[in-house]
């Protein structure tokens, strides 16, 4: 018996995951708990674990395609399936002979396909279809048949993206990791895993609505034209509509590309993180009424304190200091403590009421390859600077390795975003929903300032607080940033 392996739900909001690696090959023995594959979500790469002992078996889903949660990506067989390998290999071609010209095997392969069919009449096409039948109801239509329906439309509509055509071709070219096993054909085409009617797809394209987030009211959750219509009019037919399709684009893609001469650009496909960043920040700017408050902080005392604290840090056995505080660590701590002193600002908006927090969880924006992520330091107000500093370092390292768990970057009330190390004097940041503020930190630099009627040089740092006006009014925001400034300028108060 083959037990399906499905795309796991790695966070509450996860709808699709991108299969980036099979860590086991088809036929490999696996133990319960073994990682068999790696999946990239919007923020992290996570392992898919086996729930049973057995042998990894195909068909295995294609790499680097977005697959919906619950989609079968492979199987765990009780026994190594040797006889199955040959007919299964023929399956993708058999199910797609006309759908994907690029995937049609070379004549010799076609001949062997016929041979396989002759020997095991039940094996080739029905094998793949039978597998599809095992898919749970919600994801069932995603398998072979659908892209066969979709692909013939390509020459007519003429607007299938290059990437989907390319990925459609994948079934004919098994990936190195899955030499012995073919990929699941239908899983390869990105539009295919959203079951939708032709009219729904056309309506969605015309309206600039993404099908991915829509709730399908048709059989087996199929998205029908009425669902797209409902989404367009803001009816609650969508799951994460705001994230999936925040606003209609100004122009459809074709229209935008038409403005630039062909050959003058390269089309770089979006990865999951880029799409999520885009969706969340559009959501932030559209749904959160932002305003900004800027103050200059004298960080002379902070630098002195930092120097003293780091200088006297004890060394561990390897001779590495037990802490090495950055200016940013002080800022995080200052913001966390300030929020405790201004409790009305230590809250976020929900329609039902303010969520006012007891402790202050502070996000830290970390630039990573291809995007950014904001791991959250929990209860930053209550942590010592050294603990906080080491935690931030660990989170940042895990973020760069894309190993953060969703629980490590979700939640929080405010965030610190620091571009000082890039020499930026001051800037404003967009609030990271559902948080209610974000502190943008500029460079610490010597500036001439007037003091007691004298022009003196002081090390100054400009910070800008963006506030969600639904939660933080102007005076409250000013109170909060004053408290931040006071703590930065007199950091011993953080120890109180």
Partner 1 sequence: MSETEFDIIIIGSGPGGYVAAIRAAQLGFKTAIVERAYLGGICLNWGCIPTKALLRSAEVFRTMQRAQGFGLSLEKPGFDMGAMVARSRAISQRLNDGVGFLMKKNKVSVIWGEARVTAPGSVTVGPAKSAPPKDALGAGDYHAAHIIIATGARPRVLPGLEPDQALVWTYFEAMVPERLPKSLLIIGSGAIGIEFASFYRALGTEVTVVEILPQILPAEDAEIATLARKSFAKLGITFMTDAKVTKLEKGTDSVTATIETAGKTQTQTFERVLVAVGVVGNTENLGLEALGVITERGLATIDAANRTNVAGIYAIGDVCGGPMLAHKAEHEGVLCVEAIKGLNPPPMDRLMIPGCTYSLPQIASVGLTEQAAVARKRDIRVGRFPFLANGKAIALGEEQGLVKVIFDAETGRLLGAHLFGAEVTELIQGYVVAMNLETSEAELMSSIFPHPTLSEAMHEAVLAAYGRALND
What is the binding site for partner 1 (CB under 8 A)?
149, 152-153, 155-157, 197-200, 202-203, 206, 217-219, 224-225
Between CA 174 and CA 314 the distance in angstroms is 55
What the block records as the tokens of 482 is: 């004053």
Question: What is the rounded CA–CA span in Å between residue 284 and residue 348?
Answer: 13
Let me know: does 288 contact 431? Beta carbons within 8 Å: yes
Closer Cβ to partner 1, 149 or 495, answer by number: 149
Report, as residue numbers or ranges, the catalytic residues.
469
How far is residue 339's CA from residue 380's CA, in Å, rounded to a whole number? 10
Nearer to partner 1, 202 or 400 (CB): 202
Dihedral sign, CA of 5, 11, 14, 17? negative
Mutual orientation of helices 85-95 and 107-119 as an angle, nearest 10°? 120
Minimum distance from residue 197 beta carbon to partner 1 (Å): 3
Other CB atoms closer than 10 Å to residue 115's CB: what's the count?
12
Report the nearest approach of partner 1 to the CB of residue 160 (Å): 12
E strand or H helix at 232 = helix 225-232
Least separation in angstroms between residue 202's CB and partner 1 is 6
Question: In the complex with partner 1, which residue's Cβ is closer, 198 or 289?
Answer: 198
Q: Least CB distance from residue 141 to partner 1, whole Å? A: 12
Residue 249 CB, shortest distance to partner 1, in Å, is 20
Looking at the Cβ atoms of 156 and 162, the one nearer to partner 1 is: 156
Print the SS3 string covering 22-47: ECCCCCCEECCCCEEEEEECCCCEEE
Nearer to partner 1, 166 or 220 (CB): 220
DSSP code string of 74-86: EEEESS--STTHH
Helix residue spans in 267-299 (DSSP H): 272-287
d(CA 401, CA 463): 29
Give 119 or 157: the residue with its C-beta nearer to partner 1. Answer: 157
For residues 358 and 377, what is the distance between their CA atoms, to the nearest angstrom?
A: 14
**What is the C-alpha separation between 108 and 439, in angstroms, rounded?**
64
Q: How far is the CB of 159 from partner 1 (least distance, A)?
A: 11
| CA 8, 20, 87, 126 torsion-angle sign | positive
Exposed/middle/buried for residue 415 (C-beta within 10 Å: 0-12, 13-18, 19+): buried
Contacts of 166 (CB under 8 A, 6+ apart): none
Q: Are 22 and 36 in contact (CB under 8 A)?
A: yes
**Which one, 170 or 203, has the nearer CB to partner 1?**
203
d(CA 125, CA 133): 13
Distances (CA, A) of 415 to 92, 336, 467: 48, 10, 11
Nearer to partner 1 by Cβ, of 191 and 375: the residue is 191
Closer to partner 1 by Cβ: residue 224 or 277? 224
Closest separation between CB of residue 187 and partner 1, Å?
22
Enumerate the H helices of 288-372 as residue ranges.
300-311, 327-341
Closest separation between CB of residue 157 and partner 1, Å? 6
- The CA distances from residue 226 to 17, 218, 229, 230, in Å, are 27, 9, 5, 6
- From CA 102, how far away is CA 92, in angstroms rounded? 12
CB of 196 to partner 1, least distance (A): 9
């Amino acid at each position: 018996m083959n037990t399906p392996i499905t795309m796991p739900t790695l966070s509450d909001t996860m709808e699709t995951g991108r299969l980036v690696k099979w860590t086991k090959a088809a036929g490999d023995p696996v133990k319960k708990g073994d990682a068999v594959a790696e999946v990239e979500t919007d923020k992290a790469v996570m392992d898919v674990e086996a729930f049973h002992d057995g042998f990894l078996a195909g068909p295995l889903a294609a790499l680097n395609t977005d697959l919906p949660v619950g989609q079968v990506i492979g199987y765990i067989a009780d026994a190594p399936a040797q006889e199955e390998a040959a007919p299964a290999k023929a399956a993708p071609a058999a199910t797609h002979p006309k759908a994907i010209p690029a995937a049609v095997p070379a004549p010799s392969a076609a001949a062997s396909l016929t041979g396989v069919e002759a020997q095991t009449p039940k094996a080739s096409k029905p094998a793949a279809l039978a597998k599809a039948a095992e898919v749970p109801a919600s994801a069932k239509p995603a398998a072979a048949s659908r892209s066969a329906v979709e692909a013939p439309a390509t020459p007519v509509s003429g607007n299938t993206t290059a990437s989907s055509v390319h990925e459609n071709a994948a079934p004919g070219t098994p990936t190195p990791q899955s030499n012995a096993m073919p990929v699941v054909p239908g899983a390869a085409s990105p539009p295919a895993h959203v079951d939708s009617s032709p009219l729904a797809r056309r309506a969605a394209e015309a309206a600039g609505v993404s099908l991915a987030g829509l709730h399908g009211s048709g059989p087996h959750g199929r998205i029908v034209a009425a669902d797209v219509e409902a989404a367009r009019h803001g009816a609650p037919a969508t799951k994460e509509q705001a994230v999936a399709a925040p606003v209609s684009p100004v122009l459809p893609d074709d229209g935008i590309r038409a403005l630039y001469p062909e050959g003058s650009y390269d089309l770089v496909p979006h990865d999951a993180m880029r799409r999520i960043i885009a969706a969340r920040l559009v959501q932030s700017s559209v749904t959160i009424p932002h305003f900004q408050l800027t103050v200059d902080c004298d960080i002379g005392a902070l630098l002195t304190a930092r120097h003293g604290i780091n200088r006297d840090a004890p060394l561990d056995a390897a001779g590495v200091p037990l802490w090495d505080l950055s200016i940013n660590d002080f800022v995080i701590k200052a913001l966390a403590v300030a929020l405790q002193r201004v409790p009305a600002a230590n809250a976020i908006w929900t329609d039902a009421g303010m969520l006012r927090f007891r402790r202050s969880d502070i996000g830290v924006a970390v630039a990573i390859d291809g995007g950014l992520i904001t791991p959250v330091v929990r209860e930053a107000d209550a942590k010592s600077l050294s603990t906080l500093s080491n935690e931030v370092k660990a989170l940042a390292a895990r973020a760069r390795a894309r190993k953060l768990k969703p629980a490590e970057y979700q939640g929080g009330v405010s965030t610190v975003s620091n571009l000082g190390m890039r020499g930026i004097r001051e800037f404003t940041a967009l609030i990271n929903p559902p948080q209610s503020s974000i502190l943008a930190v500029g460079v610490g630099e010597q500036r001439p300032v007037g003091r007691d009627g004298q022009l003196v040089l002081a090390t100054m740092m400009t910070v800008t607080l963006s506030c969600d006006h639904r939660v933080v009014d102007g005076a409250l925001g000013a109170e909060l940033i004053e408290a931040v400034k006071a703590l930065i300028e007199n950091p011993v108060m953080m120890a109180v």
